[in-house]
Chains A and B, each alone.
Chain A
Amino acid sequence: MIMDRSLSRRPIPLPVQRQAEAKQPLVIIVDDDASVQEALSELMLSAGFEAVSFSSTQALLETDALDWPGCLILDVRMPGSSGLDLQRHLTTTGNPKPIIFLTGHGDIPMTVQAMKAGAVDFLTKPVRDQTLLDAVNAAIGLDAARRAEAAKIKGYVERLQTLTPREREIMHEVTRGRLNKQIAFDLGISEVTVKLHRGNLMRKMEVASIGELIRAWEALPVRMRETNAA
Chain B
Amino acid sequence: MKDLQNTPPCDMGVQIGGLRLANPIMPASGTFSEDLSDVFDLDILGAHVLKTIMRDARAGNPTPRVCDLQGGMLNAIGIPSKGIGYFRDTMLPYWAGYSAPLIVSISAHTMDEFAQLCEEVTLPGVAAIEANISCPNIEADGRAFAMRPDTTEQVMTRLRAATDLPLWAKLTPNTGEPVEVALAAEAAGADALVVANTALGMSIDVRTRQPRLGNIMGGMSGPAIKPIALRMTYQIARACSVPVIGCGGIATRDDALEFMIAGARAVQVGTATFQSPTVMARLVAELSDWAAAEGLTSIEQIIGTVTAPTGGHS
Binding between chains A and B = no
What residues of chain B have their CB less than 8 Å away from a CB belonging to chain A?
none
Question: Could you tell me which A residues sit within 8 Å of B by CB distance?
Answer: none
